[in-house]
Amino acid sequence: MTEIYETQPERTDLPLVVMPSLLQSMIEPIKAQFPALKDVARVRMYEEFTSDEAVLAERITDADALLVGGYHISDDLLNAIAERSHIRCIVFCGTGVASYINLPLAREHRIRVCNAEHYGDHAVAEHAFALMLELVRRVGALDADVKSGNWAWSGGDGLQLAGRRLGIIGLGGIGSTVAGIARGFGMQVSAWNAHVPAERFAGLDVTPVDDLGDLIAGSDVVSVHLPLNDATRGIVTAEHLARLRPGTLFINTARSEVIEPGALLARLRKGDIPAGLDVFDHEPLSADDAICAIPGVVLTPHVGWRTDGAFKELTRQMIACLTAYFAGEDYNVVVSER
């Protein structure tokens, strides 16, 4: 039986916020934020994760605002929300809301959509390095060898990050954090000079490179940190990836959609590029997906953002979006209802 957590249930004079589905890891962090909604809104939270749209639609029938915990809202569900509920504010638990909600359709329905910003800068940056380190030192395979009694490692010696050049595609909050960590590892750092203030390069001691293909061709490690929007969708092309030198490490903890469809799989199939990927064209990834059969590729299930610190900041921002909405103010508004 699904546990339902409610705050101020007796305050029927207050608007109702419903969270019909959420990740287990979010339960306690978001509960800790609910006191900020005292005398502002009551909350009804279902303590399970489901993406069943029939269940979601039933649970949000009488809601005034919706907290979205990591599931996709189809156009059909969004239309139903607009037509059959009082919901005029949707708060998404992350930055890349464009991958989960049709924003133009939300704008058409005059539904506010909010997200969270920079909550996972450190979490995702650290995960990018976890992928790099697994590729160059193969700690997981070594652990398995030792535990199986094989002390004589036969998988080849590791590689060293110090002295190698890291090319960052997307020098925003996460990319900037990655640059700082890379400096701590003794790496040289370059980044694509696309709408990035000159002072950011100077402050991070990062070399700007104007041409994306040149950045990729000149790097020992390439790490993608672009947000997904209309301007970035498919911006990394097959032609760009063709310029990866054999042995270059390719890391993507951003969004798979910033790469031209099919281009990365085709490049990795050549077998000369080690890669660490946390995001995919289709999620969840099935075991028989073609990318799972490519040697030298490390895959994780879109968990780069999931740390204790990230959850704390994420849920703080989600509740701040609601308090601003009910006060007639703006906070992290991606689509305005006005």
Considering only CA atoms, which of 184, 198, 34, 21 is closest in space to residue 93?
21
Between CA 4 and CA 298 the distance in angstroms is 38
Between CA 334 and CA 208 the distance in angstroms is 29
111 plus 205 within the same structural domain: no
> Is it the case that residue 133 has pLDDT exceeding 90?
yes
Q: Which two tokens stand for residue 288?
A: 């028989």
273 plus 168 within the same structural domain: yes
172 plus 284 within the same structural domain: yes
112 plus 219 within the same structural domain: no
- pLDDT band for position 192 (50/70/90)? very high
Q: Which two tokens stand for residue 330?
A: 């703006």
- pLDDT band for position 225 (50/70/90)? very high
AA identity, residue 284: P
Which residues contact residue 196 at a Cβ distance below 8 angstroms, ignoring those fewer than 6 apart? 171, 208
Q: One of 6, 28, 108, 283 is an active-site residue; which one?
A: 283
> Is it the case that residue 154 has pLDDT exceeding 90?
no
Q: One of 240, 255, 267, 306 is an active-site residue; which one?
A: 255
User: How many domains are there within the chain?
Assistant: 2
137 plus 181 within the same structural domain: yes
Considering only CA atoms, which of 241, 271, 274 is closest in space to residue 135?
274
222 plus 315 within the same structural domain: no
Asked if 162 and 186 count as a contact pair (C-beta separation under 8 A), the reply is yes
Place of tokens 């991606």: 334
Region 318-334: what's the mean pLDDT?
98
283: annotated active-site residue = yes
The backbone torsions φ and ψ at residue 107, rounded to the nearest 5 degrees and listed phi first, read -65, -40
302: annotated active-site residue = yes
**β partners of residue 26:** none
Q: Which domain holds residue 320?
A: 4-119+308-335
Q: Which residues of 254-283 are buried (b: 16+ CB within 10 A; e: fewer)?
A: bbbbbbbeebbeebbeeeebbbbbbbbeee
**β partners of residue 40:** none
At 245 the three-state DSSP class reads coil
Region 23-45: what's the mean pLDDT?
96
| CATH, residue 130 | 3.40.50.720
Which residues contact residue 13 at a Cβ distance below 8 angstroms, ignoring those fewer than 6 apart? none
234 plus 287 within the same structural domain: yes
Region 172-187: what's the mean pLDDT?
98
157 plus 285 within the same structural domain: yes
pTM summary value: 0.88
Q: Which residues of 107-133 are buried (b: 16+ CB within 10 A; e: fewer)?
A: eebebbbbbbbebbbbbbbbbbbbbbb
Q: Where are the beta strands (DSSP E) in 103-146?
A: 112-114
72 plus 221 within the same structural domain: no
140 plus 280 within the same structural domain: yes
What number of CA atoms fall less than 13 Å from residue 183's CA on the CB side?
A: 12
164 plus 287 within the same structural domain: yes
Region 281-293: what's the mean pLDDT?
93
